Structure 1
Amino acid sequence: MSVQGEPRREAASEEYTSSLPGPLGWLDVAIARIEAIMLGVGVLLMAANTIANVLGRFVFQNSIFFSEELNSILIILITFAGISYAARQGRHIRMSAIYDALPPKTRKALMIMISLITAAFMLALAWYALGYIFTQAGRGRVLPALQIPVWWTLVWVPVGFLLTGLQYLLTAIKNLIEKDIYLSTHVLEGYDDDEVEV
């Protein structure tokens, strides 16, 4: 039995580049940049908001009244940008005991099928999330402290599902055009040399 380490990654430069051809490569790079901006801005704003609230509470004896609502919005942003980022990095949980025992051609076919089915589910969830946002917009509810419409806080949900669905679709395409088996557009199937035999 082997304890498996990190998935193998292609060599990456500081700035993300895609090995997919033409418009697919541009789409892959655009998704990577959108994820990076969403995650970076979300984490930095959450840290700044939390620090400002702590300083306000303990230094000025007065909390920021909208801090909790803002952090809730940022958690939604980070969560749904994070599912796309995890798909790009090949980090979603996989049950791979049977998969790993299959021959390479079968694993490749299975990876294409898994990627396409997951893409379909993610895109369907994006569609349903969009419908839910329209329902919330019709209700006219607003957040108590920030006084902004509730549906604004949920915009990140369909965006995250859409980016994740596109990421899995690109993974399926990558597996169709490349010889190797890929967990994502730049993460090869397999494990690093540091796997431990038990």
Structure 2
Amino acid sequence: MSKALLYIEYTILALCLSTMAIITFANVLSRFIFNFSIAFTEEVTVNLFVILTFVGASIGIYKGAHLGFNLVYERSSSFNKKMSSIIIGGLIVLFFAIIAYHGFGIVQSQMDRGQITPALGWPQWVFTLGLPIGSILCIIRTIETTVKSINGIKNESVREL
């Protein structure tokens, strides 16, 4: 599942980034050549940037690309390493679960009110759905990384014996 999810995440990133680059470049050309700005580009770019951020965070969690201070962790016993991994993983899952919960609430509210985007007239919830979906991806990756970390600590302690 991990490889398939990574493929999906990279595909989403590539589509979002390429779409953002193309429409932004087209808008810049349109302004300079025709003295006309394409109205929807800002709306799409901002909303795609939210999706890009959360999916990128999910990949960052998977790759362990976050900043960390390892001195205390590395010098701890295997039990303390396991406990800190579980506590940190639990706090990250809780954080993204709160974001996902409130994100789904916002999506539901936008669906109930029939809120549409100003320039395109699309349902706003389509773009807002990136918030809870990205949070769920981050939760999956955090659980996966925490389990890998705990298994790595177990293997480390077995090798030390």
Q: Would the TM-score normalized by the shorter structure come out above 0.5?
A: yes
Per the alignment, residue 69 of structure 1 pairs with 43
Count of residue correspondences: 155
- Quickly say closer, same or farther: Cα 1:176–1:96, change in 2 above 3 A: closer
- Aligned amino acid, residue 65 of structure 1: A
Please point out which of 141, 150, 159 is paired with 1:167.
141
Matched, 1:115 2:85: no
Displacement of 1:104: 4.1
Per the alignment, residue 24 of structure 2 pairs with 50
Please point out which of 142, 165, 184 is paired with 2:116.
142
- Quickly say closer, same or farther: Cα 1:95–1:177, change in 2 above 3 A: closer
Q: Is the 8 A contact 2:61 2:145 kept in 1?
A: no
Displacement of 1:109: 2.9
- 2:84 and 2:151 mapped to 1: Cα distance? 15
Q: Is the 8 A contact 1:39 1:81 kept in 2?
A: yes
What percentage of aligned pairs have identical amino acids?
30
Q: Is the 8 A contact 1:112 1:175 kept in 2?
A: no
Displacement of 1:98: 3.2
**Structure 1 runs not aligned, ≥5 long:** 1-25, 182-198
TM-score for both structures, normalised by structure 1: 0.70
Choose 94-103 or 64-73, whichever is displaced more: 94-103
- 2:23 and 2:9 mapped to 1: Cα distance? 21
Alignment deviations for residues 67-87 of structure 1 (CA, whole Å, 9 cap, x no partner): 111111111111111110111
- 1:174 and 1:58 mapped to 2: Cα distance? 52
Per the alignment, residue 14 of structure 2 pairs with 40
Q: CA RMSD in A?
A: 2.0
TM-score for both structures, normalised by structure 2: 0.85
- Aligned amino acid, residue 121 of structure 1: F
- 1:156 and 1:140 mapped to 2: Cα distance? 18
- Aligned amino acid, residue 117 of structure 2: L
SS at match of 1:32: helix
Q: Is the 8 A contact 1:84 1:160 kept in 2?
A: yes
Q: Which has the higher contact order (CA 8 A, sep 6+)?
A: 1
SS at match of 1:81: helix
Displacement of 1:41: 0.7
